[in-house]
Amino acid sequence: MLTQIKDRLGANPIPLQIPIGEEENFTGIVDLIRNKAFEWDDSSKGVVMVEIPIPEYLSDTVEEYRQKLIESVAEDSDELLEKFMDDPDSITEEEMIAQIRKATVEMRISPVLCGSAFKNKGGVQMLINGVVQYLPSPLDVDAVTGINPKTEKEEKRRVSIDEPFSALAFKIATDPFVGRIAFFRVYSGVLESGSYVLNASTGKKERISRIMQMHANKQNPLERIEAGDIGAAVGFKTIRTGDTLTVENHPILLESMTFPEPVIHVSIEPKTQLIWTRWELLYPNLQKRILLSVLEQTKAQAKPLFLVWVSYIWKCLSTA
């Protein structure tokens, strides 16, 4: 796996964990930073982690990869390199985490953790901790750059609640109970539930009747959302994937997402009139939901035409 990451992605993977077992025999992990092993309690469906001795058959592998990790960390810091030369074990857990985060934010390394979603045996707790410990927060990123649609000049927005509101819609979904949902990331400012925003991509005003924080399929209502947060909006009319949401008196157009041109055309022709009637009701909503594909109604044949990527065909067909 590490070799594939290097060869195919051109990244510099640094393993932080070693799996205990594999496939159906995967039972836990060894944390190389803490040099401790953990196993998941099956009865709690992975919620409870139990510390165990490092398995004897893994001791040499753990020692090898832990030394490589310490060496990689020490190479990035003169202070840690000096400590490493004196005594490698003198480098503390906090120093290792801080240096790994610094190298990750600068995109010089890619921390690698292991796990499995099956029965939550993947150390979800450790993965979430890793996100907090190693990945950049909004404050670690430079101000976002966009274009003022009125002046056509470049402007910047800092990650601050004191800046004018700006956000980017990155996904549109449909919920059977609340209708269309727009997932968006707030780059600057504050948005109150029930307020109006300007869709800088279309020039139209939109009312965001409700703001929600999504937890899997659970929807937690929010009164407001601030810079650096990700939320979901309900009650809009024409927001699409890649649209910029902003305030009317300080508009900004952020860089949208771009998608390659479709490479396969697939047409679908209903067998019965009943299916055709259902399709006519489904088609407008499907058009709004799927931006990764281009949906057209061919005039000559009077049947829906899918222009899709190879990897997206089955999703489109199953959705229809």
Same domain, yes or no, for 36 and 130?
Answer: yes
How far apart are the C-alpha atoms of 197 and 155, rounded to whole Å?
18
Tokens of 51: 């510390």
pLDDT at 61 exceeding the cut of 70: yes
pLDDT, residue 88, reads 79
Three-state DSSP at 135 gives coil
Top mean pLDDT of 4-18, 40-54, 179-193 is at: 179-193
Give 142's pLDDT tier (boundaries 50, 70, 90).
confident
Structural domain boundaries enclosing 171: 144-254
Last residue of a domain, one of 79, 109, 134: 134
Last residue of a domain, one of 211, 231, 254: 254
Tokens of 28: 């836990």
Same domain, yes or no, for 16 and 78?
Answer: yes
Same domain, yes or no, for 90 and 19?
Answer: yes
pLDDT tens-digit readout, 208-247: 999 999 887 788 999 999 999 999 999 888 898 899 999 9
Same domain, yes or no, for 193 and 249?
Answer: yes
Total of domains in the chain: 3
pLDDT at 185 exceeding the cut of 90: yes
pLDDT, residue 282, reads 61
Mean pLDDT calculated for residue range 285-312 = 45
Same domain, yes or no, for 165 and 198?
Answer: yes
How far apart are the C-alpha atoms of 132 and 138, rounded to whole Å?
12
Residues of the chain above pLDDT 90, percent: 38
Whether 139 is covered by a domain: the verdict is no
How far apart are the C-alpha atoms of 221 and 224, rounded to whole Å?
9
